Chains A and B, each alone.
Chain A
Amino acid sequence: MGSAGDVLEDNPVGRLKVYVYELPSKYNKKLLQKDPRCLTHMFAAEIFMHRFLLSSPVRTRNPDEADWFYTPIYPTCDLTPTGLPLPFKSPRMMRSAIQLISSNWPYWNRTEGADHFFVVPHDFGACFHYQEEKAIERGILPLLQRATLVQTFGQRNHVCLDEGSITIPPFAPPQKMQAHLIPQDVPRSIFVYFRGLFYDVNNDPEGGYYARGARAAVWENFKNNPLFDISTDHPTTYYEDMQRSIFCLCPLGWAPWSPRLVEAVVFGCIPVIIADDIVLPFADAIPWEEIGVFVGEKDVPELDTILTSIPTEVILRKQRLLANPSMKRAMLFPQPAQPGDAFHQILNGLARKLPHDRSIYLKAGEKVLNWTAGPVGDLKPCLQGNGLIGDRDSFGCHLRREGEREAAMGGGMGAFWGTRVMEIVKKHDSGGLLWKRIKLTPTRKANAKTRLRRVWQNEAVLRACAEADASNSPGVSNTESCTSAGKNE
């Protein structure tokens, strides 16, 4: 844990060199063009990191002298109509990208990715799922096990947090927050402030699941307490109210991190972090223990006692530390980048991991990663680039087709069918309803069976090709039989 200020001011320029791979635009620009909302939601850090690195002085065009390699891929830029990201395409996209860089450049295979880093800001990082049990089940994508992950998720002893990961804050729009600043001499008159959900009635009707019951406990214990200004409203003066409060609650939600932490630090409100075992952003540079208050989830009913029993000098000291502008800068992703901001903290974190240990360099022919590990649905078809297998796009994902509502069918087809079909259905999000009852005519049954058979055949091809890939040395193009078999589908 670093002391406030000095580590934050480090300048990474000159301490490391980053090489940015040239990936086709289907991995980055095309996704952004399809949906420009990716630039404003809380996972936008991946896009801004790419832009920052392209014009940063740490970038080098000579990959042989690079210490770190960056892959410009936006895995979280697949949004539903309501703006939430779907992680179903992301594993395939990631695999495809890694396939590309491993076959076109020798640097991946040199270390099997140990000197590469990826920005995966989604809910549970590189586990690529928004639900915790499913994310735990999937685990970190096997191909990324040696790479350094730059992610927002952080929880100790969790499958989805790798040892050497760098935890970053979620993206919060800096201009919007600057626009709502009020003068510093406005007296802070709210004791505890929180705005957000306590119960997620859509996804957790009975309660106890969302936020592990912690948010519900806050509501039930303190809804009548005049010191606690908590509600589910969306006031227009949200930012101004935060600047008028002493404590801002930052409890966990579905995932332990939240943009409230960033907002609290920027507005000088002491964050009260209610998330067990959470790993906070830039924990080696920002002294979170001295800035914020940590409350265990089991201690939530005594929150008022805890907060009022903090000595006055401690509170004043925390506020003084929070007023430090370098702390606020380190939480933000400003456009254009400024010294001391979150981009530089990420580079500092990467620089601190240098020099690379000799052991990461693999000997010729040595292989550590298992390219076939992981759920079957992740495995990418062997084609590189622009081929289509049946009705898939180049990542091997089902193309959108209007009117596809297949979830109601089939009892005993297994979990695979269920998940695959659910992905399709979710793409055609019909505003609330996941599926509607459709009449199961024989034609529809037959079509579904044909489609399923084709899917299974493709999977078999994938598996075969993956094994072929594993046995061949990387860099050699795939055997013709695989590509032709794929094309014929």
Chain B
Amino acid sequence: MKLSLFRLSYWNRRGSSFRSSASLDPSFDGGFVGKSSPSSIFWLVIHGLCCLISLILGYRFSHLVLFFLFSTSVTNLYTTPFLSAGTGGVSRLLRLKPLETTNSTVRSSRVVVGRHGIRIRPWPHPNPIEVMRAHQLLGRVQKEQKSLYGVRSPKTVIAVTPTYVRTFQALHLTGVMHSLMLVPYDLVWIVVEAGGTTNETASFIAKSGLKTIHIGFDQKMPNTWEDRHKLETKMRLHALRIVRDKKLDGIVVFADDSNMHSMELFDEIQAVKWFGAVSIGILAHSGNADELSSVLMNQGKKKGKPSMPIQGPSCDSKEKLVGWHVFDTQPYAEKTVAFIDDKANLMPSKMEWSGFVLNSRLLWKELVDDKPTWVKDVNLLDDNGEVDSPLSLVKDTSMVEPLGSCGRHVLLWWLRVEARADSKFPPGWIINSPLEITVPSKRTPWPNSSSELPVVIKEAKRRSGKSRGSKSMSSKGKQQTSTESF
């Protein structure tokens, strides 16, 4: 009973699609019915024997192997080691032998029909030298692609970054610096520093290896966001004046030091003719992340999808600029922050400078041919002192070119994160003097550490009351001691 069922399932498995050759062979059909003919009984016996052997051996042992054992001719298998443990598969090759001989008499073919071994090399893992070579090939191919299909005559990118020395300056400037170092085009980096040039900033910028122009601006950066916006605007205009004076040729990008730029931004701005606008994603910072995200989630629930607010150009179906997407700051009016270090949402201004790029020829004094008339002269602006948005540089805002497939691609992200106004950081981020108090942890790997804990720690221990792991104790103590040391 079991045997016949097993046989049924076996044949079903083997014959389960119409490509199986074994199932077509009628010589096996004889065994299937197996009721009264002696041959079928013989097959049953052999099958039972082979089942027992399989049970002992642990893999399927086909009765056809007996055929193979009794046959005389030798097969021409490619007998490299193969994965499959069963010897049942030899049966197929067995049956193919007569075919192979007829094939050889007709034509001599190197390629043989039948079962072949699966060739696996002894260590099938990647060779690191080959991986390096492959990456070099990839880089070379991509370079070739760029030269064939990319921008025809790339223009220099002029990046304008207003900055000042503070705790997070290194954090932000590193991000911008690395982005700019990856730009495949020629680059000039104009860094305008509030409060005059400092060695810190200068040494930082020198690490980039880029062509930089480091300018100092005489005012110090104020503490409120509003005033800060105004000062930054003035600093940017100052940079534009430098561009005009030095007659730099290229495309001006406002790379604020706490923004994040994508590489596609720099490819996309090569297409600007005079004045272009890109979409910025707004990552409104909040010390209280839950509140902001809940507000956004509520907004999102209404619209059906949570979305990131975006500032940028908006077009109609004919890809013509019709207006601007602006972040609505009304819901956050009472929650916005005034001072740089307040823990609340910081909202961007109506029109962020970093969303606009311009051709540097717009700023030149001389009359460049076909310089558009809808652009104001930079000289006149800073006399008035009231430039609040980059759009005030142009007389006719409809002439602005939308970039990034008409603002649908977000090419950079806006974010403002600053540390506390009184936070201190070691100059150059190097701690030269040795630390005055060292607190060993309880479970130290070094055998000869002193087990004396300073008094401060003991007090902290007493104060907390609860006993926690000693590591947390010592770290707590460290925090307290470090603030004291400053």
A interface residues with partner B (beta carbon < 8 Å): 80, 84, 86, 130-134, 136-137, 155-159, 183-185, 187-189, 191, 202-203, 205-209, 212-213, 216-217, 220-222, 224-227, 246, 254, 276-277, 297-298, 300-302, 304-305, 307-309, 312, 315-316, 319, 407-415, 417-419, 422, 426, 429, 432-435, 437, 440
B interface residues with partner A (beta carbon < 8 Å): 8, 12-21, 23-26, 29-33, 37, 39-40, 82-84, 86, 88-89, 92, 96, 99, 102-103, 106-111, 113-121, 124-127, 130-131, 133-134, 136-138, 140-142, 144-146, 148-150
Q: Which residues of A contact B84 (CB under 8 A)?
A: 206-208
A31–B387 Cα distance when bound, in Å, is 76
Q: Is the CB of B18 within 8 A of A80?
A: yes
Q: Is the CB of B118 within 8 A of A435?
A: no
A434–B21 Cα distance when bound, in Å, is 12
Q: Is the CB of A217 within 8 A of B33?
A: no
Q: Which residues of A contact B134 (CB under 8 A)?
A: 191, 227, 304, 307-308
Q: Is the CB of A157 within 8 A of B108?
A: yes
Q: Is the CB of A411 within 8 A of B145?
A: no
Q: Which residues of B contact A407 (CB under 8 A)?
A: 29
Chain B residue with the shortest CB-CB distance to A222? B124
Which of B37, B88, B137, B142 has the most chain A CB within a 10 Å cutoff? B137
In addition to A432-B17, A434-B18, 11 A-B residue pairs with Cβ atoms within 8 Å of each other are A187-B142, A188-B145, A207-B83, A207-B118, A226-B131, A302-B121, A304-B130, A316-B141, A411-B31, A418-B25, A432-B16
19 contacts between A and B (CB under 8 A): A157-B108, A183-B149, A203-B17, A208-B117, A213-B116, A226-B131, A227-B134, A277-B110, A297-B116, A308-B133, A316-B144, A319-B141, A409-B33, A411-B33, A411-B39, A411-B40, A415-B26, A429-B18, A434-B20
Q: Is the CB of B145 within 8 A of A187?
A: yes
Q: Is the CB of A159 within 8 A of B18?
A: no
Q: Which of A183, A188, A315, A409 contacts B142 (CB 8 A)?
A: A188
Give chain A nearest CB distance to B100 CB in angstroms: 9
Q: Which of B107, B108, B118, B148 contacts A213 (CB 8 A)?
A: B118
Q: Which residues of A contact B89 (CB under 8 A)?
A: 206, 208-209
Q: Which residues of B contact A277 (CB under 8 A)?
A: 109-111
Give chain A nearest CB distance to B36 CB in angstroms: 11
Give chain A nearest CB distance to B284 CB in angstroms: 32
Q: Is the CB of B21 within 8 A of A157?
A: no
Give chain A nearest CB distance to B28 CB in angstroms: 9
Q: Is the CB of B126 within 8 A of A301?
A: no
Give chain A nearest CB distance to B297 CB in angstroms: 30
Q: Which residues of A contact B117 (CB under 8 A)?
A: 208, 213
Q: Is the CB of A301 within 8 A of B124?
A: yes
Q: Which residues of B contact A187 (CB under 8 A)?
A: 141-142, 145-146
A80–B18 Cα distance when bound, in Å, is 10
Q: Which residues of A contact B148 (CB under 8 A)?
A: 184
Q: Which residues of B contact A158 (CB under 8 A)?
A: 107, 109, 111
Q: Is the CB of A133 within 8 A of B99?
A: yes
Q: Which residues of B contact A304 (CB under 8 A)?
A: 126-127, 130, 134
Q: Is the CB of A225 within 8 A of B126?
A: yes
Q: Which residues of B contact A226 (CB under 8 A)?
A: 126, 131
Give chain B nearest CB distance to A268 CB in angstroms: 10
A131–B24 Cα distance when bound, in Å, is 12
Q: Which of B33, B83, B106, B116 contacts A159 (CB 8 A)?
A: B106
Given known pairs A208-B89, A411-B37, the reply for A434 and B23 (CB within 8 Å) is yes
Q: Which residues of B contact A315 (CB under 8 A)?
A: 137, 141
Q: Is the CB of B137 within 8 A of A220?
A: no
A410–B84 Cα distance when bound, in Å, is 33
Q: Is the CB of A132 within 8 A of B118?
A: no
Give chain A nearest CB distance to B61 CB in angstroms: 13
Q: Which of A137, A184, A216, A246 contacts B149 (CB 8 A)?
A: A184
Give chain B nearest CB distance to A158 CB in angstroms: 6
Q: Is the CB of B144 within 8 A of A411?
A: no
Q: Which residues of B contact A209 (CB under 8 A)?
A: 89, 92, 114-116
Q: Is the CB of B140 within 8 A of A412?
A: no
Give chain A nearest CB distance to B254 CB in angstroms: 26
Q: Is the CB of B140 within 8 A of A220?
A: no
Given known pairs A185-B145, A312-B140, A411-B26, the reply for A254 and B19 (CB within 8 Å) is yes
